């Protein structure tokens, strides 16, 4: 596992899993939110974003977390491992609400600076509709990956913890 992509709904825990896995494996962690958002929640222009992703994926090894559908196929094509956090939407919603209060008025560690935590109706709708609007397409893309690409679908937080424990106990075999 040298190029690991972590995807899933907002609030699923992608950044947390990426950080913990990065510590265990000693790999660079790339939080896409920190690369995409500029101070004041200003989006990176599309052509510049494509170039940034291209450059990031060329690195020798990484753990990358984030969705960003416009670049998902490129990231999937170079990842040797894809972890899909396929958690219930109620759990994801409760986590983003908790996160909003935890980081009120400040930027999260996995977010660009000067992007204080926010929560709006559009993001809540995105999370609520994720299982219907996004999940089927992701599962279809994952089913089309090559046999040498490992796909790990975790459906419960306890499975993510078990996965990390497994990796931690066997990290000397992986590296």
* Prediction pTM value: 0.94
pLDDT in tens, 44-81: 999 999 999 999 999 999 999 999 999 999 999 999 99
Taking every pair of Cα atoms in the chain, the longest distance, rounded to a whole number of angstroms, is 45
In whole angstroms, give the CA distance from residue 77 to residue 74: 5
CATH number assigned to the domain covering 3-168: 3.40.50.300
Domain chopping of the chain, boundaries = 3-168
């Amino acid at each position: 596992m040298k190029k690991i992509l972590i995807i899933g709904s907002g609030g699923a825990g992608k950044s947390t899993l990426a950080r913990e896995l990065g510590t265990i494996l000693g790999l660079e962690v790339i939080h896409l939110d920190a690369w995409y958002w500029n101070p004041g929640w200003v989006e990176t222009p599309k052509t510049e974003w494509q170039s940034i992703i291209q450059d990031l994926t060329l690195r020798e090894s990484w753990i990358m977390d984030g969705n960003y559908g416009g670049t998902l196929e490129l990231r999937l094509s170079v990842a040797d491992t894809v972890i899909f956090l396929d958690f219930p939407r109620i759990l994801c919603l409760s986590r983003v609400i908790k996160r909003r209060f935890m980081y009120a008025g400040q930027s999260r560690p996995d977010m660009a600076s000067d992007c204080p935590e926010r929560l709006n109706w559009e993001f809540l709708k995105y999370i609520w509709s994720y299982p219907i609007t996004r999940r089927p397409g992701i599962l279809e893309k994952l089913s089309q990956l090559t046999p040498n690409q490992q796909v790990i679908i975790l459906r419960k937080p306890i499975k993510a913890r078990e996965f990390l424990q497994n990796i931690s106990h066997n990290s000397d075999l992986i590296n």
